[in-house]
Amino acid sequence: MRTLAYNIYWYVGYDVTTPSYTSHVILSHRDSVFRNINHRWGMASLFAVNAARPVGQSDPLAGITTVAFLTELSGKMLPHIQKF
């Protein structure tokens, strides 16, 4: 049996969000020097597990569908949990 898990995440700062580790490091340094802001980053994430299937019978669209669902869900819930 094969089970696939998907995790989408993004970084949440003082007044900015980014899905990129590199961007969050650059924003931290830039804002620390030029805006006197310490972001104290948090990481938000959504995690989903696809049902177990035999190895030879996996659904190639299951991963695409799961990631699309997580992306849509994050877009709908984000305005309710983050205030910008």
What is the DSSP secondary-structure string of 25-81?
A: HHHHHHHHHHT------EEEEEEEEPPPB-GGG--TTHHHHHHHHHHHHHHHHHHHH
User: Looking at the whole model, is its pTM more than 0.85?
Assistant: no
Instruction: For residue 59, name the pLDDT band (cuts at 50, 70, 90).
Output: confident
pLDDT at 84: 63
SS3 22: helix
With a pLDDT cut of 90, the percent of the chain lying above it is: 55
Q: Please compute the mean of the pLDDT values over residues 28-55 and round it to a whole number.
A: 90
- For residue 48, the enclosing domain spans 5-81
